[in-house]
Amino acid sequence: MSFEDVTRWVRAARRIVLLSGAGMSAESGVPTFRDAQTGLWAKFRPEDLATEDAFRRDPAMVWDWYAMRREMVAKVAPNAGHGAVAAFQQRHPGRLTVVTQNVDGLHQRARSPGVLALHGNIAEDKWLEPPRACCEVARLRPDRPPSCPTCGNLRRPAVVWFGEMLPEAELAAAQDAAAACDLMLVVGTSGVVYPAAGLARSTRGKVVVLNPVPTDLDDAADAVLRGTAATLLPALLED
């Protein structure tokens, strides 16, 4: 199928899901998971830091690693692909749902509404343990990581670590959107991380993969467009 065919599908679709992965943010300069292993962090494997066990063993070390990654993400901006998606959503309220595997928050910063962030947001924190009443009212102790001064409960990055389940509400909403859509645009994802990749295989709508290189979801696609998000999406979503 050609680019023109996909453009017609976009215009005809009543409900669209855009599933984005790391490639969506690569053009903004967001470092990959492993690109963050530089300098003092080069001796660590990211898989050894992004776990609850690692955090419980050495909360300060893991907190500092995420602080470094947050600084890296804060220096970049949404690219033309993020902007095209947000602009389309503003012109067509309720017609396109963004489901992302990315934790960088760039879709949200581009002002896409209702982003379903399956792996969380690196800029946000949450409690390590279920919060007690004291956690909600006390001023946080400014440690690394911050903690409740009464019970000692720790704040942790609000991302999905290895071994953790995806957030139930976001995953359920993403599955509902995938089941109901006429068209799914799979942008910048290798298609190897589940359950996110399973959304493209479960939808009854047409599937279009947008990626500069082959992916594991190409075989499930009705069309494959070779190119980057910042190049393809502004033209594809223009109307």
- Residues acting as catalytic residues: 119
Please tell me the total number of residues recorded for the chain in this structure: 239
Q: Report how far residue 236's alpha carbon sits from residue 231's, in angstroms, rounded to the nearest whole number.
A: 9
Picking from 55, 69, 135, the residue whose alpha carbon sits closest to that of residue 104 is 69
Are 95 and 15 in contact by the 8 Å Cβ rule? The answer is yes
Number of helices and strands in the chain (H, E): 10, 8
Picking from 146, 142, 139, the residue whose alpha carbon sits closest to that of residue 63 is 146
Q: Report how far residue 70's alpha carbon sits from residue 104's, in angstroms, rounded to the nearest whole number.
A: 8
Q: Report how far residue 2's alpha carbon sits from residue 6's, in angstroms, rounded to the nearest whole number.
A: 7
CA 195 to chain centre: 13
Judged by DSSP in three states, 218 sits in helix
Give the single-character DSSP code of 84. H
Are 19 and 196 in contact by the 8 Å Cβ rule? The answer is yes
